[in-house]
Amino acid sequence: MSFAETWVKTIPVASRAWPVPSQSLAVVPGEAATPEVLRHQTNREALIALVHRFAAYGLSWAAGDPAKITPETEEVAEAFLRELPSCKALPKISPDGEGGLTLVWEHAGETFIMTIEDSRLHGVIAAATSHAQYIDDLPWKSLQDIPERILNAIPHR
């Protein structure tokens, strides 16, 4: 399906059974349900819905087939976003064009880029600087804690 066709073909989002943002106190256990905390949780759920959209429809920057993420990348990305502590900033996300998902955090002039490629994490701490550090081919399953090196690279919100 081309990018143009995704605009012509209307499929109601509600029919996809994707998670919808919730204003429930249950989504932020252990935290005061302030408007900021609820807004952060709503943004997290919107990112997860976008991950599902990238798996179903992909994203196209040019003519041709849209870049989709693989089902395993979709599953791991959703689990990663759910596991991400609420004190951490949420990333910008995009398909990488090869079945993976790229996540980008920018804060105080530093950039952390991470790619989820099926069940593998790849990252660059302080990307595009002379002191860049690389995290390569780190296995991660959805029932594990996020590796400390990755958590430390993600800025606080």
Q: Does some domain include residue 5? A: no
Q: Does some domain include residue 25? A: no
Q: Which helix (H) or strand (E) holds 54?
A: helix 35-56
Q: Does some domain include residue 11? A: no
Range of the domain at 109: 31-153
pTM higher than 0.75: yes
Q: Does some domain include residue 141? A: yes
Look at residue 51 in the predicted model and tell me its pLDDT: 97
Q: Does some domain include residue 24? A: no
Q: How many CB atoms lie within 10 A of CB 56?
A: 15
For residues 157 and 33, the model is more confident at: 157
For residues 26 and 107, the model is more confident at: 107
Look at residue 27 in the predicted model and tell me its pLDDT: 54
Q: Which residue's structure tokens are 């609820």? A: 38
pLDDT tens for each residue of 109-128: 899 999 999 999 999 999 99
Q: Does some domain include residue 69? A: yes
Look at residue 2 in the predicted model and tell me its pLDDT: 53
pLDDT tens for each residue of 8-46: 454 554 455 544 444 444 556 667 778 888 899 999 999
- Mean pLDDT over the full length of the chain: 85
Q: How many CB atoms lie within 10 A of CB 118?
A: 16
Domain count within the chain: 1
| Cα(45)–Cα(114) distance, integer angstroms | 19
* Neighbouring-strand partners of residue 156: 88
Residue 145, pLDDT > 70, answer yes
| Cα(35)–Cα(40) distance, integer angstroms | 9
Q: Does some domain include residue 135? A: yes
